[in-house]
Structure 1
Amino acid sequence: MQIRRSWLIVLLPLMLLLMGARQAPLNDPDPIMIPQGLSGEQVVKEIKRALIGRNWTITNEQQGRIDSTLNLRDHVARIAVSYDAERISVAYVSSENLKFEEKKGERYIHKNYMSWVNNVVVDLNRGLQLQALD
C-alpha cells in the first residue's frame, strides 16, 4: 500500500505536467520576404500552392489577403495570409477544438497548430526561392 502511494505522489505531478504540455504559445511566424523580381501572380500562386499542398482550404481571396482553413479530424484552424510587394505574413484568425486561450496577454493553442502553420511557411519560402531562380 505504501509503494502505491509513493508511485501516486511521483506520477501525479508528472501527469499534470504532461496535460499542460498539450498547449504551446501561439506566435505568428515572422514575415517572409519576397525575393526581388517575382510578380504578384507568382506570389499568389506560391501561397496557394503551399496552402493546398498542406491540405489547407482557401476560403476567401481578395487583393493582398488569402484566408484559409485546415480541417483535421475534429480540429479546425483558420489563418489569414497577407501579402504586399515585399513580404508575406501568416496570422492566426480562429480555431475550434484547439484549446485556444489567452492568459495574461499571451496566446496559447494546441501544440500541433504551430507545426501545421510552420509547414506552410517552410513550403512557401521554398516555393518563392525556387520561383526566383526561373
Structure 2
Amino acid sequence: MGKFLKWCVALTVIVTLAGCARTAPVVQVHSTVTAGHTETQVRDAILNAGQQRQWIMTQVSPGVINGRQQARDHVAEIRINYTATSYSINYVSSLNLQSSGGKIHKSYNRWVLNLDKDIQLNLSAGAGL
C-alpha cells in the first residue's frame, strides 16, 4: 500500500504542475489581405467569421471592430483594426482567463486563432463579394 500512496502523490504533483501550464503568451494576429479586396469586403469577412465563431462583433468606426467572446464565466474582448490590405486582432481585456504579464489562458489564443482562420477562409471564398 505504501507504493500505491507514493504513486498517487506523484501523480497528483504531476497533474498540478500540468495545470500550471495552461497559460501562454497572448497571440497577436497581423495578417495581410491579398487578392484586391475592398475595405467593405474585409469588414464583412471579419463580421461573418465572428458570427461563425459566436463572437459578439460591433463596428465601432470605419476600420475598427470590437469583439467579445463569452464561454461560461470566461470573457475575452478584442479590437480588430482593418483596411483593404490588412487586419490585426488585438487583445483588449479578459475576465477569468488568467491574464497576467503578457500571458493568458490557452483558450483565448485558440479562440483568436480560430477567428483568424475563419476570416482568411471567408476572404479566400470571396465573402462580401
Q: TM-score range by the shorter chain?
A: 0.7 to 0.9
Shift of 1:99: 0.8
The answer to whether the 8 A contact 1:34-1:87 is kept is: yes
Q: What TM-score does the superposition give when structure 2 sets the normalisation length?
A: 0.88
Residues 50-104 of structure 1, C-alpha deviation per residue, up to 9 Å, x if partnerless? 11110000234211110010111111100111112321100111000111111xx
The answer to whether the 8 A contact 1:21-1:111 is kept is: no
Q: What TM-score does the superposition give when structure 1 sets the normalisation length?
A: 0.85
Match of 1:122 in 2: 117
Match of 1:131 in 2: 126
Match of 1:111 in 2: 106
Match of 1:27 in 2: 27
**C-alpha distance in 1, partners of 2:111/2:120?**
15
1:48 aligns with 2:67: no
**C-alpha distance in 2, partners of 1:11/1:37?**
55
* Percent identical residues: 34
**C-alpha distance in 1, partners of 2:25/2:88?**
18
User: One-letter code of the match for 1:2?
Assistant: G
RMSD in angstroms over aligned alpha carbons?
1.8
Shift of 1:5: 4.4
Residues 95-117 of structure 1, C-alpha deviation per residue, up to 9 Å, x if partnerless? 00111111xxxx11111111111
| Structure 1: gaps (5+ residues) | none
User: One-letter code of the match for 1:37?
Assistant: G
The answer to whether the 8 A contact 1:60-1:67 is kept is: yes
Pair 1:9–1:72, CA change in 2 (3 A): closer
Match of 2:62 in 1: 63
